């Protein structure tokens, strides 16, 4: 029988991976700031069309802007943490699903033990 099991993916922090993450976070901040500007523009446009629903429109857009600003602050925090993260440490990079063959007589505890894939600069270094 085959089962599907989640396997953790971890990255070893190097200068190259730090720079890659920094660029990724800065790009996400840039995208979110652009979305905020676009939302403000859309809000003004809708408020001019529907003057009687101005409060409803403002409330909806305020919620969306607040959500994006929270994301911006989160990525700024991640940038700060990235600066203090030591080279050689491991960070979580999500999960993947693996198909595992099981048979009668196998040790279930060994199968359910948390497995992980360690990656360094895009190359798989270790599978545990």
The residue with tokens 């440490």 is: 89
CB atoms within 10 A of CB 20: 14
pLDDT value for 56: 82
What is the rounded CA–CA span in Å between residue 40 and residue 32?
12
What is the rounded CA–CA span in Å between residue 101 and residue 111?
10
Helix (H, G, I), strand (E, B) or coil at 69: helix
Query: Contact at 8 Å (CB) between 58 and 47?
Result: yes
pLDDT along the chain (128 residues), means of 10: 92 92 96 95 86 81 93 95 91 91 88 88 90
pLDDT value for 109: 86
pLDDT value for 13: 92
Token duo for residue 20: 């890659």
pLDDT value for 48: 84
pLDDT value for 59: 86
Query: Contact at 8 Å (CB) between 86 and 13?
Result: yes
Distances, alpha carbon 123 to alpha carbons 14, 20, 30, 46, 117, in Å: 12, 15, 29, 50, 10
Token duo for residue 73: 């602050």
Helix (H, G, I), strand (E, B) or coil at 121: coil
């Amino acid at each position: 029988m085959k089962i599907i099991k989640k396997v953790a993916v971890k990255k070893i922090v190097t200068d190259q991976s730090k720079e890659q993450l920094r660029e990724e976070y800065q790009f996400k901040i840039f995208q979110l700031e652009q979305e905020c500007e676009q939302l403000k523009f859309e809000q003004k446009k809708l408020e001019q069309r529907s003057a009687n629903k101005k409060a409803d429109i403002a409330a909806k857009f305020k919620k969306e802007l607040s959500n994006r600003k929270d994301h911006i602050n989160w990525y700024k925090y991640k940038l700060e943490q990235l600066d203090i993260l030591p080279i050689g440490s491991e960070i979580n990079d999500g999960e993947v699903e693996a198909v595992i063959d099981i048979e009668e007589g196998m040790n279930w505890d060994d199968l359910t033990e948390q497995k992980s894939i360690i990656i360094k600069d895009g190359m798989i270094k270790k599978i545990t």
